[in-house]
Every structure is written in C-alpha cells, then in structure tokens.
Amino acid sequence: MATRAAQKRLTREYKSISENPPPYITAHPSESNILEWHYIITGPENTPYFGGQYWGTLIFPANYPFAPPAIRMHTPSGRFQPSSRLCLSISDFHPRSFNPAWEVSTILIGLLSFMTSEEMTTGSVSATEAERKFHAARSKWWNSTGGGSHLKVGGPAGKGNIKAGDGGAKFKTEWPEVDQENWKWIREGKIDPATGAKADAGGPSCRPQLGIAAGSGHQAHAVVDAVIQQRAAGQGWLFNNKLVLVGGVVFLYVLIARLLGEGS
C-alpha cells in the first residue's frame, strides 16, 4: 500500500502528465492500485520503432519518490525482453542513484531515450533494424490479442509480468479506448487475429494464364481464344486448310465430269 506521501506525489504527477504529456508518451495509474502505472510509447519517426505501440508498466515502491520503480516493457520490440525488469539508472536496479526530484515523465523520457540507443543492459536484446520494424508493425495486434492468445485464454498473467497468454485482457482493462482502435485497425487491415499476418484480401490468386495479358475485361473469351489457337497449332497444315482442299476436290470433280461429257 502506498504511503500518504507516495499517494499525494503520484496523484500530482498523474495530473501533470495528463495535462502535459511528453512527446510519444502517455501514461496513467491503474484504477485499482496507484503504485501500478501503465504507459504507451509510440515509436518516433526516423527510428526502427516508428508507428509501433509499446506498452509497459512502472511498479512503484510504497516509499516513492525515495526509491525508483521497476520498469518493464511488455510489447515485443526487438530492444527489450518482453516483460523483463530493465536495469537502468532510473529503475529499481539502482535505488541509490535515483533522484527523488525525478518524476514519472522523467522516467519515461529516460526509457524512450535508452530505447532509441544501442546501449546494452540487463533486459535488453540485440536485433536488426528489420526485426525491430517487424515488431513495430505487429505491436497493435500483439497488445490487443496477447500475441494471438485471445483465442485460448488461460489464467491471468502475474502481477507486473504481462506475457503473451492473457489474451490481451490486461491491455483491454487498462487501455479500453486504445484497444477498440486496435481492433478496428485489425479488421480494416485484414490482419489475422490468430497470427498477426495480413490476410489475402482477394482470396486465392488468379493469375493470367496461357500468355494472356492481365487487365483485359474479357478474360474468359481470351482464354477460349488462346485454347483454340493452341489446339489449332497442334493440328497441322492439313487441318487448318481443309476448306481449300475440299474446294479443290470439288473443282477437279466438276472439271473431269465436263471433260468426260464432252468426250462422249
């Protein structure tokens, strides 16, 4: 339970960060526990995280601001191990280095700054730019589905340790409006809720065949014509010129008949 000083301090900080949120950052305390804060960092431009939606928690000690919070980022990012405590100078790994003058906004700005660097620490991981962009593109899906586990929800995730498996329940509880926007994005983008992959909007591909150019409004007729052409090509000269041959035979017959008639 928070001390009176921590309660007062965090209430004031919530008012401050709500009225003047830092760029790319939004945060609020849980309704059930003012010591449990939830944040979302939006990936900044000109970074591999651009457009990503990175959700995490700050778990404050009861004697805050005289001790720092535990910091976690739950959304896979390619920068941090999901839901692992991060060793930062502003986290509970280094209580002696924490300055009581630092606020929630200071902590989250520091986290964002560290995220966009390449410095390594406990809880951080190495990844390529492509991998981080991949995670950014899937972050909204991951947050609202629990990594696709909404289809088979088990038990609730442990306190402060939200992993793929809770079906997105915790995210929905803390960010109901954002969760609705995410599901709208999933539907409109034809994202498979089970895998996070973009579904094929047009179903099985129907590519042009038999050398027919795409874009014709009469593909069925073109297919028939092409089949006829291919069939004709296989029949040889005799088949293609049968009318000429028949005409020639008739002409010869008439000619011979006249000659015989004149001779008789």
Q: Are 91 and 71 in contact (CB under 8 A)?
A: yes
What does pLDDT average to over the chain?
82
Please confirm, yes or no, whether 87 is among the known catalytic residues.
yes
Positions of the chain with pLDDT lower than 70, given as ranges: 152-164, 200-264
- Its pTM stands at 0.73
Domains and CATH numbers, the chain: 4-188 (3.10.110.10), 219-263 (no CATH)
Q: What is the pLDDT of residue 145?
A: 95
Q: What is the pLDDT of residue 206?
A: 40
Burial of 8 (0-12, 13-18, 19+ CB in 10 A): exposed
Q: Rounded to the nearest 5°, which phi and psi values hold at 37? A: -105, 145
> 219-248 burial, b for 16+ CB within 10 Å, e for fewer?
eeebeeeeeeeeeeeeeeeeeeeeeeeeee
Q: Which of 129, 69, 115, 116 is nearest to 94 (CA)?
A: 69
Please tell me which residue in 87, 125, 186, 222 is annotated as part of the active site.
Answer: 87
CA distances 62 to 6, 84, 87, Å, are 7, 21, 20
The tokens 């929905």 sit on which residue? Answer: 172
